Amino acid sequence: MSTTPARRPLDGIKVLDFTHGVAGPYAAMLLGDMGAEVVKIEYPERGDSTRYMNVAERFTTEIPKAGGDYFLAISRNKKSVCIDMKTPEGAALCRRLARWADVSLQSFRPGVMKRLGLDYPALRAENPKLLYANISAYGSSGPLTDKAGMDVAVQARSGVMLLTGAQGSKEPVRPGASLADFSGGIYLYAAVMTALYDRERTGEGQEIDLSLMDATMSMLINYSVAVMDGAAALAPVGSGHPQLCPYQAFPTKDGYVVIGAGTNKVYRELCECLGRPDLGREPRFHSNELRVRHRAELIALLEPLFLARTSAEWLEKFDAADIPSAPVHDMAQAYDELQRISPHMVCEVAHPVTGPLHVLGVPFRYSAMRGDVRLPPPCLGEHTDAVLGAVLGLSAAELEQLRERKVIG
């Protein structure tokens, strides 16, 4: 008998998703994972811009129908409906869909949805209990509100690109992860979930506003006091941490290992493992504050010690001493290990175009409910007729007329 919980926390919640790119679609995916029915509105023929983002040669032949590997990675548990919102008929269809929805998400630059007649006041008139969430680069007010912005631009403004990179380098480096996009998506998901809880208590809808800039800066909160009140001048420290030491990668005889000596006790145990217990007693390195201050001296003493053994040999010693450590994986190694240590985090779905497709699972688990992957990433316009027929009651003849007028796709 299966012990997997049957219920999903957002079963019955309906999401009308106007977002494109990464942050908004990622939030919509998370809502879908928790059981919400997500209807993704895309422009006919071209679809979401993320459908064109791709690195693997395998997926280049079915763009935009199936989408590139980026789209395939962040688009499960959604239905794709193609509507030209720029046409009066298309905008009217979207307003009718808003009557059905509990949540609406949009990521156009501020002012666009108002011009289309699809902003919060317009949709609230159709559905007063609607939760309407905006996400944009710089928010709906302020001096940058009308400025175009992408993840890389927000990261540049946030300071993170000058905090990342080789020690002593002045070259801005973008982290491998889309920090602004995914932090924005996670915060948007949290904001919607909180608003859903509030609506359960009050019965009222509301508008939510979130910027990628605010979300990204919130991910850098640990530096806020140091910079604004302590006048700290932060600079890149390679794989290290400006506020902790030693907390970085070290070269070994055959590769690299990472050490996280987050406490004085762990630092002293590290020195024992390295055969230099005297470094654990050295006054210059007696506390984390002192180790950060004398970082260059300490790292210069530690690095040659790591070269005496292979990564595997060091990791065995560090594990025995309960020192936080890890090998440095490439992405293929990381996903391979993930399937072994967290098998629930890799799911296979049957995609109608690409065939079997591996997508990541739901990272949080519950004892009494669950999130799951139910639908593969949708093909462009795959659900247009089914959704507009079931939700709006449009007949096959009406759908065909709308398609002929290029209102839907």
- Hey, what amino acid is at 86? K
Cβ-Cβ contacts under 8 Å for 20 (sequence gap 6 or more): 42, 48, 49, 50, 107, 108
290-329: burial string, b at 16+ Cβ within 10 Å, e else:
ebbebbeebbebbeebbeebebeebbebbeeeebebebbe
Given 11, 17, 181, 322, the catalytic residue: 181
Contact 94, 402 (CB under 8 A): no
Contact 40, 199 (CB under 8 A): no
Contact 163, 221 (CB under 8 A): no
Instruction: Provide φ and ψ at 98, rounded to 5°.
Output: -65, -25
Token look-up 């762990």 returns: 266
Three-state DSSP state, 349: strand
Q: What is the DSSP string of 35-48?
A: T-EEEEEE-TTT--
- H/E run at residue 249: strand 247-251
d(CA 362, CA 251): 34
Instruction: Provide φ and ψ at 302, rounded to 5°.
Output: -80, -40
Question: 356 is written with which tokens?
Answer: 């079997």
Instruction: Provide φ and ψ at 362, rounded to 5°.
Output: -90, 125
Token look-up 């919060």 returns: 120
Is there a catalytic annotation at residue 181? yes
d(CA 59, CA 67): 7
- Which residues have a catalytic role annotated? 181
